[in-house]
Amino acid sequence: MTVETKLPYDKDYINQFSQDRSEPEWMQVLRLKALELADTLEMPKPDKTKIGKWNFSHFKHSAQGEKISSLDNLPVEIQDFLDKENKSENLLIQRNHSVAYASLSNELKDKGVIFTDIFTALNEHEDLVKRYYMKDAVSVDEHRLTALHAALMNGGVFVYVPKNVQLEVPLQVIFWQEDPELAMFNHVLVVADDNSSLTYVENYISNNNEKQTVANIVTEVVAHNNAKISFGAVDNFAEGTTTYINRRGVAYRDASIDWALGQMNDGNTVSENVTHLVGDNSNSNAKAVSVGRGKQTQNFTAKIVHFGKQSEGYILQHGVMKDSASTIFNGIGKIEHGASKSNAEQESRVLMLSEKARGDANPILLIDEDDVTAGHAASVGRVDPLQLYYLMSRGITQKEAERLIIHGFLAPVVSQLPIESVKEQLTQVIERKVY
Amino acid sequence: MAGSTLEIKNLHVSIEDKEILKGVNLTIKGGEFHAVMGPNGTGKSTLASAIMGHPKYEVTEGSVLLDGEDVLEMEVDERARAGLFLGMQYPSEISGVTTSDFLRSSINARREEGDEIPLMKFIKEMDSALDYLEIDKNMAQRYLNEGFSGGEKKRNEILQLMMIKPEIAILDEIDSGLDIDALKVVSKGINKLRDENFGCLIITHYQRLLNYITPDVVHVMMQGRVVKSGGPELAQRLEAEGYDWIKEELGIEDETIEQNA
């Protein structure tokens, strides 16, 4: 067995880190076991992308962030994300590893909704966290990075919506990595109990263009029977951050999990978004867009696994590639034996804006059941000259016409994001990345 | 001077090295409606596309002038801003771009930066044009031409025409695929624009559109040229007798430019 990189953090450090946060014993045990596993497990092997030389081990693990007395004191770049319509009533801002701001409306509190940082949740809602933390969705021992994540988890949130509670307004979290060397081992756990519904939106922001660090993020989303979860995200880590992000959902009977992911990191990124349709009649819409620029290498996997009968899965991935960026889009629809009458559809499209960019779309259907429907569409191409001609024939310049076509191409996710300001932010990020 | 003048002189156009237009001459002035008729495969749509600057068509000889300016030297968007408009036979579908956003970009493209059309004024104008063309208001928020029926696409072209208000419009088979009610509405939209500052070239191979839009001049194209011109009565004779008499008169056996040969 060979270990490619030596970890800078050992057992004593982790023990201390856990104790400092008064974590329950099981959490401490889980961390230490994970640390051992991290030494023995292999790195994940994303299809067609070599990540052996990526930086997953050089980072600073802990840093505090100051509290924010009022939202008006936030930097403008963060303020832009705030939900003006709902006055950011249900908002959590994590600055480095500290909760800088947290607000939850009394109405939701009274209904038993939990929306808090992961460390508070471990203390105040220990049983619930223990029930779900790396149990139903992601396992500690999948590979080295999941084990490292479990060992070094240093931030995140916990969301729980009780039975029969419907959330009308979105919950928003901003993860602000202010310290340029700080690693984010963020854990997001979202649980919707039977017949409940919620909308959750998260933003990752950093500015470390030169300083190198790591984001190793695990997100677990659980929709119990007949629950409905709408999950939106805009990832915007700067060039210096190497990102592994694993967002996984489990949908039980009649449940639905919809994803709208704006994957706009500037550094190397491996992102997997997997949904397990466990219950009969469960469904998922997994939509993701990305823009690759500079020399970044990215690997995106969108996967829906059908276990339940009559489960519906739809994957959409759209990517724009410029400069020398290189990106692989894997779309996987898997129908297990017994998941009869299920439907697995997917669409992956890559728009190339430069000769030097690389983009591959790999549509994969794995089907172990006869009585199902499935389909895929994949394409890699340039801006359609006839579309350009049409727009230009109305007087629109070529540059503006291309801009319209690119924004249109990425609209499936932008239009899905539930908070107007986040939509605008994503549009601006796209604008910045494309031009 | 009232309106603009579009002069097409001895225009030769090829697609993939095959010559389609073999010397077309036409002059359209502000205030005039011209119809170009002719059987399929005689070069009518090629004429429209070449004037607008379709990427697949190559002009090998001749000139196109708008108020004396060389149109062929201009990029497609410059042609549009100079005053040309082409209502297309097969408009592209642009996913993710709403009809409304597209229209606003088109209108603002003709205005100076800082002098963009005020949003309320735009919405008011668009709503009134939508009403005039009996188009469901939802269309404004639908993605441009995506999932539109044939008739909706044509109405949308006329909506753009009414909003953009060009000096010279070319309408390429704007009547194809329309039922009689849609045809009436589309004609109503085109007729509304009729004034001394607006010139229009209507390409069709059915006379029926000309029952609703009376042309000042009718041209017949065959073999990549204009072979006959006349007044509105020419269109009526074509409707009654077909094209054979012209072929006979001019000694033409095959009127097409053998596109499919």
HEC secondary structure over A43-70: CCCCCCCCCCCCCCCCCECCCCCCCCCC
pLDDT at position B1, please?
Answer: 52
Beta strands in A64-137 (DSSP E): 91-95, 98-103, 114-117
Looking at the DSSP bridge assignments, the partners of residue A299 are A270, A328
**Is residue B260's pLDDT more than 50?**
no
| Residue B94 touches partner A, C-beta closer than 8 Å | yes
Please tell me the distance from the alpha carbon of residue A7 to that of residue A28, in angstroms, as a whole number: 18
Q: Which residues of B touch A393 (CB under 8 A)?
A: 52-53, 76-77, 79-80, 85-86, 88
Which residue among B85, B95, B106 places its CB closest to the CB of A409?
A: B95
DSSP code per residue over A344-356: EEEEEEEEE-SSS
List residues in chain A touching B: CB distance below 8 A.
384-387, 389-398, 400-401, 404-405, 407-412, 415
What are the pLDDT digits (tens) for B36-59? 999 888 999 999 999 999 999 999
**Dihedrals phi, psi of A174, to nearest 5 degrees:** -115, 120
DSSP code per residue over A177-238: E-STTB-B-EEEEEEE-TT-EEEEEEEEEE--SSS-EEEEEEEEEEE-TT-EEEEEEEEE--
pLDDT at position B120, please?
Answer: 96
pLDDT at position A83, please?
Answer: 81
**Residues A327, A298 contacting (CB under 8 angstroms):** yes
Least-confidence region, from A67-81, B159-173, B233-247: A67-81
Q: Do A389 and B80 touch (CB under 8 A)?
A: no
Please tell me the distance from the alpha carbon of residue A200 to that of residue A229, in angstroms, as a whole number: 8
* Pick among A394, A397, A430 to test the B interface (most B CBs inside 10 A): A394
For residue B38 the two structure tokens come to 């002719």
Q: Do B55 and A385 touch (CB under 8 A)?
A: yes
Tell me the pLDDT band of B65, cut-offs 50, 70 and 90: very high
Q: Which 142-171 residues of chain B touch chain A by CB within 8 A?
A: 143, 160, 164
**Residues A342, A311 contacting (CB under 8 angstroms):** yes
Domain boundary assignment for chain A:
11-383
pLDDT at position A418, please?
Answer: 85
Q: Is the pTM of this model over 0.90?
A: no
DSSP B98: B
pLDDT at position B231, please?
Answer: 94
Nearest residue of A to residue B89 by CA position? A390
Q: Which residues of A touch B53 (CB under 8 A)?
A: 389, 393
Pairing between β-strand A197-206 and β-strand A171-177 as defined by DSSP bridges: parallel
pLDDT at position A141, please?
Answer: 95
pLDDT at position B123, please?
Answer: 96
* Pick among B45, B66, B86, B95 to test the A interface (most A CBs inside 10 A): B95
Please tell me the distance from the alpha carbon of residue A144 to that of residue A135, in angstroms, as a whole number: 17
Q: Which residues of B touch A395 (CB under 8 A)?
A: 77, 80-81, 106, 109-110, 164
pLDDT at position A47, please?
Answer: 87
What are the pLDDT digits (tens) for B192-232? 999 999 999 999 988 889 999 999 999 999 999 999 999 99
pLDDT at position B239, please?
Answer: 87
Please tell me the distance from the alpha carbon of residue B166 to that of residue A253, in angstroms, as a whole number: 57
For residue A348 the two structure tokens come to 């992956």
| Residue B54 touches partner A, C-beta closer than 8 Å | yes
Q: Which residues, given as ranges, of chain A have pLDDT below 70?
A: 1-8
